[in-house]
Chain A
Amino acid sequence: MIDDKGLRLDGRRPDELRSIKLQVGVLDNADGSAYIEQGKNKIIAGVYGPREIHPKHLIIPDRAAIRCRYRMAPFSTEERKHPAPSRREIEISKVIRESLEPSILSEYYPRTVIDIFVEALQCDGGTRCASIVAASLALADAGIPLKELVSSCSAGKVKGHVIVDLYDLEDKYGEADLPVALMPNHNLVTLIQMDGKLSKEEFEKAFNMALEGCRKIRNLQNDALKRKYKLESDTENSKDSESKEEGK
């Protein structure tokens, strides 16, 4: 799993993230949306709301309810995934919702609901982290007030080496996996899970590597958001300069 030079199966160094591509506002019909490609992961997130809540008994009198559905496409994995919601999907839906909830200022819109839909089109390990990254961007794109964006990254252990951002094989054949979600400005961890075994020292190392990964991803998120909304203002600026030139 790790060669003599200390490189991983896919040629990454232990502290190296997969290449990430982020795009905001990819869907027209959702209020907000985002797309993430992290290595071979391809995930799309859509957000609706705040909107009227149905069924009515889900109303929370003092804040907006948040619902989240994570779904894997049948073609997302090597072996066809049965389209019915699995135990895993239900768990990840809950985990995504709970890791985003602290960032949403839901008390601004009492008695409403914010719906988050995450569709995993292609999975290659670490989809819960990638989903959180995309869903948080989609929330911001929908114009929902947020304390800040949530970033997420995993770390783990493979053949005794602590590594960051595990992909499918490392996840399957490694010894431990530790997904973490972070609100960097507040220094608030909103998600931490672990499967496998880590010693105390290994845990601390892995945890810090995951936090470092979150911070790196946060910068990419910021860039992606600004890129989308700068585009709009840039076209206007170019119009400005054009009209000025016309004036001359």
Chain B
Amino acid sequence: MLLTILAQKKQLVIPGELVAKGEYDPDLNVYKDGENIYSTMIGIFESRGNRISVVPLKHCYFPFVDDIIIGKIIDVGMSGWSVDINSPYLALLPATEFGARQNYPKRRETTQSLSVGDLVKAKIIAFDRSRDPLLSARDRGLGKITHGRMIKITPSKIPRLIGKEGSMINMLKKESACSLSVGQNGIVLVTCSSPKNEEVVVELIKMIEHEAHTQGLTDRVSEVINRKLRGVKTGKA
């Protein structure tokens, strides 16, 4: 028997707030104590069918296997690189997982291909509670990042930036003619041919981050695109 949902959809909830009572399934950022379901974060309440969850307004990135992330090299070792992936855990990118080389590389080779401060796009191939995340950059589209602009946003807003089946991100890509690559850890890379478009895209990403929990966001984003990007285009023509 289901009982009541106490919070409204999209309502702001805080830690310890009672959001539902009864046989619901606690999903992300909520916990069940007897019959009561409480929020654990400051966030926006969501319920989908039987599942109760809270989308946090602010949190730190927790690695998941198969996530594509963008990280920064902070140390070069004998067998690989230590990578800061914007989470409490330091990731390891083994030398064998970067590029095509299978052999055990020499130090000179590791520093030559990636040195401290470089950015890489990589995939998390292994992570559990007892070990640091392990990265791989051997898939298509992964590897060293050579140019573009890096923006940090709250990782919990990444799904909104991507949108339903990529609707939001595809709209941004199409309208601005920029290439966007999104790391699940809250780092977005924008590469544009025109600096003006880049500015607009950065502004839009910030806007999406700030207004992620409001409704009709896609419409407002497309309105800004119309005003700024199309305006830029017609101005040129």
Q: Which B residues touch A145, using CB under 8 A? A: 15, 29, 40-41
Residue of B nearest to A62 (CB): B129
The residues in A between 132 and 186 inclusive whose CB is less than 8 angstroms from any CB of B are 140-143, 145-149, 183, 185-186
The verdict on A240 contacting chain B, using a C-beta distance below 8 Å, is: yes
Evaluate whether A52 and B42 lie within 8 angstroms (CB atoms) in the complex, with A146-B15, A233-B213 already known. no
Interface-central residue, A145, A147, A186, by most chain B CB under 10 Å: A145
In contact, A51 and B216 (Cβ under 8 angstroms): no
Q: Mark A213-248, 1 if CB is under 8 A from B, else 0.
A: 000000000100110011011001101100100000
Partner of A232, one of B18, B31, B90, B210: B210
Q: A147-B40, A233-B214, A236-B214 are in contact. Are A50 and B129 (CB under 8 A)?
A: no
Given known A-B contacts A111-B89, A185-B38, A146 and B16 have beta carbons under 8 A apart: yes
Q: Are A229 and B214 in contact (CB under 8 A)?
A: no
CA distance A145 to B58 in the complex (A): 11
Q: How far is the CB of B235 from chain A (nearest CB, A)?
A: 22
Q: Does A33 contact B (CB under 8 A)?
A: no
Give every chain A residue within 8 A of B38 (Cβ-Cβ): 147-148, 185
Total chain B interface residues with beta-carbon distance under 8 A: 31
* Cα(A112)–Cα(B90), bound, Å: 11
Residues 195-237 of B contacting A (Cβ, < 8 Å)? 210-211, 213-214, 216, 220, 223
CB–CB A52/B89 < 8 A: yes
B66-114 interface (Cβ within 8 A of A): 88-90
Please tell me if the beta carbons of B88 and A51 are within 8 angstroms of each other in the complex: yes
Contact of A149 among B15, B56, B88 (CB under 8 A): B15
State whether the Cβ of B60 lies closer than 8 Å to any Cβ in chain A.
yes
Report the Cα distance A230→B213, complex, angstroms.
12
Distance, CA A49 to CA B12, complexed state (A): 23
Binding site for B on A (CB under 8 A): 31, 49-52, 61-62, 105, 108-112, 140-143, 145-149, 183, 185-186, 222, 225-226, 229-230, 232-233, 236-237, 239-240, 243
Q: Which residues of B are at the interface with A, using a C-beta cutoff of 8 A?
A: 12, 14-18, 29, 31, 33, 38, 40-42, 56-60, 62, 88-90, 129-130, 210-211, 213-214, 216, 220, 223
24 contacts between A and B (CB under 8 A): A50-B60, A52-B88, A108-B62, A111-B89, A140-B15, A141-B42, A143-B57, A143-B59, A145-B40, A146-B41, A147-B31, A149-B14, A183-B16, A185-B16, A185-B18, A185-B38, A222-B14, A225-B14, A225-B42, A233-B213, A236-B211, A237-B214, A243-B220, A243-B223
